[in-house]
């Protein structure tokens, strides 16, 4: 009996130890392992990684340049530089492109240099300063066409934003300057926001926007609307709000219209519905075929903040051409439990979903005390593939960066 | 022996459950014993009305959401003059320096449509929970504040 008890105690201790380690570790599929390459750069956003391995993290305090100079898997040189305080960072050719709320800029990247010494150049500026959905995330195609997400400074284009019962403006004038993708020449300097061409519209805020080189096409995951229940309590309750307004994954085509603010995609009814601001009564649908259904309707309020098509060499075959999506996690699900603090993998074949999405990395949020996002331990926000095919994930709570690699 | 096995199973189960990444439950903390005149009934009504109207933005702990909606907790309005607080909520803070200078992404709706008693219950609740137990707000306080609003 004594032996049994001591064995039991030993097992308990082992379980407790494993648990305390697991608390701070990501939950990944079998064969994958994560290491922490850096922590402490504040509100991290998106990532760019140079061919030589130098890491650039967009942040609210400026771009952070990092290098692992002794090759031990941890960053040992960290320097914040420049005055571009925002989300997006992209390496294109010999340049580091970055954006803030009002423009897109670039720095020359010279061989052997981690922190660019050349002057910042302005590619586009003059976007109006807004508070809401203001990040100008972007992507470039191989020719240098620059696709900029211009989020709508509004929830649903109500006459009075986020006011209960306020009806939608029709047509929504916000769409003239926001709520879509605008294209510019990424190789040309000093363009003005008004020089761009509207490429696609009806997109509330497509933070996760990415050129898919294998398909030669643009894709995005769009943040869906908030507050169905508080704005229209006679039609929708808190559970409806927390669960029904999809985060929509689309292939974005020239001239496409993705339905904001007139509609939302309802994950419960599995169809596009007329928004309550525009005469929706919980049953009415827009004109058939006017707006495309999403490729995938992700759960409400998960906040898709980065999209990446995997083309690295080191992950198993099923990941090739598939999409990784970093979900920042919800705030607008309360009082229902918050959700979505995870990185998801969407299998794709020929540019179309080829199966259900899978949770790839989880365990970021911790126990989320008081159900408040501010208490999340980590929130995934940026994704990038390293030169060896590893997946890097950036966090916005502590500026942590993980490297996820596959071990056969 | 059976007891040991059962305990182990329980411990492992508990461990597995608490290791679930997003297991937070929406449990607005139970109303604390009121330190002032508010009755327990008014407190529960205030909590429910807060949940219906305010919680999705300001959250159950009143801390709001960083960058999105500001905290009520620790603010000056919540513990200040009752009539000023009622006006703030009925106008969504319109014309206040807080609203103009706020860096929060989202604007606050005006809650003028709420009846005096319901708004009073909400304000009493947030003063107790997030306002260091500032005194209760009565329906008469809200009515007086409402009377000073321009018509509309």
pTM over 0.95: no
Q: pLDDT digit string (tens) for A213-245?
A: 999 999 999 999 999 999 999 999 999 999 999
Residue written as token pair 């490297």? A403
Nearest chain B Cα to A1, which residue? B1
Q: pLDDT digit string (tens) for A364-380?
A: 999 999 999 999 999 99
Residue ranges of E strands in A224-275 = 247-252, 263-266, 271-274
A338/B24 CB distance under 8 A: yes
Q: pLDDT digit string (tens) for B76-115?
A: 999 999 999 999 999 998 777 777 778 889 989 999 999 9
pLDDT of residue B98: 76
Give CA separation, B104 vs A61, A205, A380, B109, in Å.
17, 17, 21, 13
Q: How many interface pairs between A and B have CB atoms less than 8 angstroms apart?
A: 123
Q: Is B17 on the interface with A (CB under 8 A)?
A: no
Residue B10 has pLDDT above 80, yes or no: no
Using N-to-C axis directions, what is the helix angle for A2-23 and B2-19, rounded to 10°? 0
Of B19, B55, B68, the CB nearest to A19: B19
What ipTM does the predicted assembly reach? 0.85
In angstroms, rounded to a whole number, what is the distance separating the alpha carbons of residues A334 and A203? 24
Using N-to-C axis directions, what is the helix angle for B82-91 and B116-130, rounded to 10°? 110
**b/e map A313-339, b = 16+ CB within 10 Å:** ebbeeebbbbbbbbbbbbbbbbbbbbb
A5/B4 CB distance under 8 A: yes
**Residue A95 and residue A143 in contact, taking contact as beta carbons nearer than 8 Å:** no
pLDDT class for B4, splitting at 50, 70, 90?
A: very low
Q: How many residues does chain B have?
A: 152
Of B1, B23, B103, the CB nearest to A4: B1
Of A233, A331, A338, the CB nearest to B22: A338
Of B22, B53, B113, the CB nearest to A341: B22
- Considering chain A, what is the average pLDDT of its residues? 94
Residue A250 has pLDDT above 80, yes or no: yes
pLDDT class for A62, splitting at 50, 70, 90?
A: very high
Omega of the bond leading into A64 within 30 degrees of 0 (cis): no
Nearest chain A Cα to B110, which residue? A163
In angstroms, rounded to a whole number, what is the distance separating the alpha carbons of residues A376 and A362? 12
Q: Is B74 on the interface with A (CB under 8 A)?
A: no
Shortest CA gap A50–chain B (Å): 30
| Cα angle B92, B95, B99; round to 5 | 60
Q: Is B105 on the interface with A (CB under 8 A)?
A: yes
Q: pLDDT digit string (tens) for A4-28?
A: 444 444 444 444 444 444 446 899 9
Residue A133 has pLDDT above 80, yes or no: yes
pLDDT of residue B100: 77
B26/A373 CB distance under 8 A: no
Of A164, A229, A337, the CB nearest to B22: A337
A15/B92 CB distance under 8 A: no
A334/B60 CB distance under 8 A: yes
A337/B105 CB distance under 8 A: no
């Amino acid at each position: 009996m004594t032996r049994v008890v001591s064995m039991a105690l030993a097992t308990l201790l082992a379980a407790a130890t494993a648990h305390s380690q697991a608390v701070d570790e990501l939950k990944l599929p079998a064969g994958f392992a994560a290491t922490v390459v850096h922590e402490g750069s504040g509100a991290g956003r998106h990532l760019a990684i140079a061919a030589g391995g130098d890491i650039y993290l967009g942040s609210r305090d400026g771009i952070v340049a990092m290098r692992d100079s002794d090759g031990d898997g941890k960053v040992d040189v960290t320097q914040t530089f420049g005055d571009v305080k925002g989300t997006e960072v992209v390496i294109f050719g010999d340049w580091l492109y970055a954006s803030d709320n009002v423009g897109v800029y670039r720095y020359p990247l010279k061989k052997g240099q981690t922190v660019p010494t050349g002057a910042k150049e302005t590619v586009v500026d003059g976007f109006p300063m807004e508070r809401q959905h203001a990040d100008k995330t972007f992507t470039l195609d191989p020719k240098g066409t620059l696709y900029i997400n211009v989020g709508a400074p509004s929830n649903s284009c109500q006459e009075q934003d986020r006011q209960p019962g306020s009806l939608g403006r029709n047509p929504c004038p916000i769409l003239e300057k926001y709520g879509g993708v605008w294209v510019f020449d990424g190789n040309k300097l000093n363009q003005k926001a008004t020089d761009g061409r509207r490429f696609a519209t009806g997109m509330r805020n497509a933070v996760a926007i990415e050129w898919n080189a294998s398909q030669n096409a643009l894709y995005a995951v769009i943040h869906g609307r908030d507050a169905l229940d508080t704005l229209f309590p006679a039609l929708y309750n808190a559970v409806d709000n927390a669960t029904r307004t999809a985060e929509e994954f689309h292939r974005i085509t020239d001239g496409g219209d993705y339905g904001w603010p007139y509609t939302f995609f309802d994950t419960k009814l599995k169809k596009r519905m007329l928004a309550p601001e525009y005469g929706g009564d919980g049953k009415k649908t827009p004109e058939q075929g006017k707006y495309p259904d999403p490729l995938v309707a992700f759960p409400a309020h998960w906040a898709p903040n980065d999209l990446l098509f995997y083309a690295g060499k080191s992950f198993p075959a099923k990941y090739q051409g598939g999409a990784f999506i970093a979900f920042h996690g919800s705030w607008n699900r309360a009082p229902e439990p918050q959700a979505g603090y995870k990185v998801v993998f969407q299998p794709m074949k020929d540019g179309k979903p080829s199966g259900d999405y899978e949770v790839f990395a989880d365990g970021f949020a911790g126990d989320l005390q008081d159900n408040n996002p501010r208490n999340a331990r980590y929130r995934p926000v940026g994704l990038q593939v390293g030169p060896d095919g590893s997946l890097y994930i950036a966090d916005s709570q502590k500026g942590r960066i993980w490297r996820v690699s596959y071990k056969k | 022996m059976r007891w040991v096995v059962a305990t182990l199973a329980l411990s492992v189960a508990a461990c597995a459950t608490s290791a679930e990444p997003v297991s937070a439950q929406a449990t607005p903390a139970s109303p604390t014993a009121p330190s002032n005149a508010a009755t327990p009934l008014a407190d529960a009504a205030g909590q429910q009305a807060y949940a219906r109207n305010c919680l999705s933005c300001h959250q159950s702990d009143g801390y709001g959401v960083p960058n999105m909606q500001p905290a009520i907790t620790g603010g000056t309005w919540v513990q200040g003059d009752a009539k000023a607080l009622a006006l703030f909520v009925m106008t969504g803070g319109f014309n206040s320096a807080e609203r103009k200078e706020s860096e929060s992404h989202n604007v606050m709706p005006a809650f003028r449509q709420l009846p005096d008693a319901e708004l009073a219950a909400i304000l009493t609740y947030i003063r107790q929970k997030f306002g260091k137990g500032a005194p209760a707000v009565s329906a008469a306080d809200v009515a007086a504040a409402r009377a000073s609003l321009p018509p509309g």
